[in-house]
Each structure stands twice: as structure tokens, then as C-alpha cells.
Amino acid sequence: MKIYIHTDLEGISGIDNIDMMARDHVRHREALENLMLDLNAAVDGAFAGGADHVTVLDSHGGGGNFILEMLDKRAENDTKPNKKWWGILDESYNATFFIGAHAMAGTINGFLDHTQSSLTWFNYSVNRRKMGELGQWAMVAGAFGVPLVMVSGDEAACIEAKQFFNPVETAIVKCGIGRNRAKLVDLDEARNRIRESARRAISIIKDARPFVLSKPMEIIVEYTRSDYCDGVSAKQGVERLDARTVRKVTNDQLDLFP
Ligand SMILES: [Zn+2]
């Protein structure tokens, strides 16, 4: 039983304000330590549930967040030797988890809600359904036939997971207060939730299906300003719908961005 764990930072335990996200902030190291402790709880839960191989990916901001000496020694760290943003995820994995998730752009009380870029992306949709990074990760995994079975993050991210995936195990570690602050769950309790939902997630894999969309897929990105759209709309296969909106049609769930 092989599990692939994708990580982000916004939905990690103990991070209760936007300032901690900045790499030069005095509490940023604490944020990264919490990332490792949440991740290790998920790794531990996966092994407790019956996994025998767990791979982990450092994905926030393209990587550079993991404190490797803190990583559970049983986990394989994906160094992305193929330079793909989904790393070495492939058909050999039985399921994937998403640790530290945030809700899609435009979610009320979603802690640091965004989709890819807080600055430039206003809305993202596939086949006319708005999606965020949870949906995007599940589509990538779905391209390899791998279902998403477990999510940790703030309450809004976990609600979003339930709206997209069934069955899915979720672990709420905080609740957004507006966009830039969150009320934390006690850290020990948060990690218990992550460990337990990761453990339970192994037992739902048999009932879970990969996230596969009907083809061709129509991807629409609405940017926040027309100049962000200018460069993108010149790309091959991308059609400009209006000043801020582009459309792309594809059959490939690994080809999700204009
Ligand atoms: Zn992130």
C-alpha cells in the first residue's frame, strides 16, 4: 500500500495569521516546524492504517519549507528528480493525502483563501465548476488513477474537500476569522485529528475513486487585472474571452494551467 502526501503551508496547525507565512518573519521557523509535525502525524497515521510506503512532497511556494531532520525517517522525501510539480507521483500509488490545505479563491472565512496566486488569479474553473488547489491536486492524482482520500487544513478547506470528494477523511486544525487570521485548534488535538483521519483514510481507499473529469475539459481562468491576462493569452491553445479571462480546452488532467 503506497501513499503519496502533498503538502501546503496555509492550512498547517499553529499558523494563525498571515504574517507567519513570510519567510523573513520571526515566527516563520515555528510555522515550518508545525508543517513537519502535521506531516509526521499524517505519515504515522498512514503506517498505522496499513501503508507500507509513504512519499512526501514539499509543495508550498515550490518547496524549500521542509526541515528534513524533523521528517519521520520512514517517509520518502520526493526531490522531484523529473522537475514536475507533482513530483514522482504515478500509477504505483494507491491514494494521496493533502496536508495543510486552504480553500479556493473567494471562500468566505477561508484562511488565506486563494487559487495558485492571491495576486493574479480571481477565479479558476473546470467544466464550469469553480475549483481551487484541492481540485487541481486531485485532478493531477486522478490522471494517474490515484484517489484523494484525506485532507487537513482549516475548516473551509475541509468543507471544500467534502463538496468534491466522497469518501474523504478530513482533519480540521483551525477556523478562519475573515481571511488573514484563524482560531487554532489545540496543537495536540490537531495532530491527533490528522493522525486518526490519516489512519482511517487507508480503510476508505477501497471505496474511493480517482477524480476524473469529462473530456474535453474546459478550463477558464479569470485574472484580477487585464495585464496579467496579456502574456497568458498569447500562449498556444489559449483563447482570450475578455480583458481578464482566458479559456483553454484540453484532454489532459496534467495540463491544468493556461
Ligand atoms: Zn501554499
CA of 93 to the centre of ligand 1 (A): 23
168 band by pLDDT with thresholds 50, 70 and 90: very high
pLDDT at position 166 is 98
* Alpha carbon distance 89, 108 (integer Å): 32
pLDDT, tens only, 245-258: 999 999 999 999 99
Contact by Cβ (8 Å): 9, 157: no
pTM recorded for the entire structure? 0.97
Query: Residue 198 C-alpha to ligand 1 middle, in angstroms?
Result: 21
Q: How confident is the model at residue 194 (pLDDT cuts 50, 70, 90)?
A: very high
The answer to whether residue 23 scores a pLDDT higher than 90 is yes
- What's the rounded Cα separation, in Å, for the pair 6 and 14? 19
CB 155 within 8 A of CB 172: yes
Using a pLDDT cut of 90, give the percent of the chain over it.
98
- CA distance linking residue 130 with residue 195, whole number of Å: 30
Mean pLDDT computed over every residue of the chain? 97
The structural domains of the chain, ordered by start, are: 2-212 (3.40.50.10780), 214-258 (no CATH)
C-alpha grid cell, residue 155: 475548516
Q: How confident is the model at residue 79 (pLDDT cuts 50, 70, 90)?
A: very high
106 Cα: distance to centroid of ligand 1 (angstroms): 16
How far is ligand 1, taken at its centre, from the CA of residue 61, in Å? 6
Specify the pLDDT at position 92.
98
Label residue 234 by pLDDT band (50, 70, 90): confident
Average of per-residue pLDDT across 37-63: 98
Q: How far is the CA of 10 from the centre of ligand 1 (A)?
A: 5
**Contacts of range 117-121, beta carbons closer than 8 Å, 24 or more positions apart:** 119/224, 120/223, 120/224, 120/225, 120/228, 121/221, 121/222, 121/223, 121/224
For the residues 143-167, what does the mean pLDDT come to? 98
pLDDT of residue 233: 83
d(CA 222, CA 243): 9
Distance 21 CA to ligand 1 centre (A): 9
**Distance between Cα 81 and ligand 1 center (Å):** 21
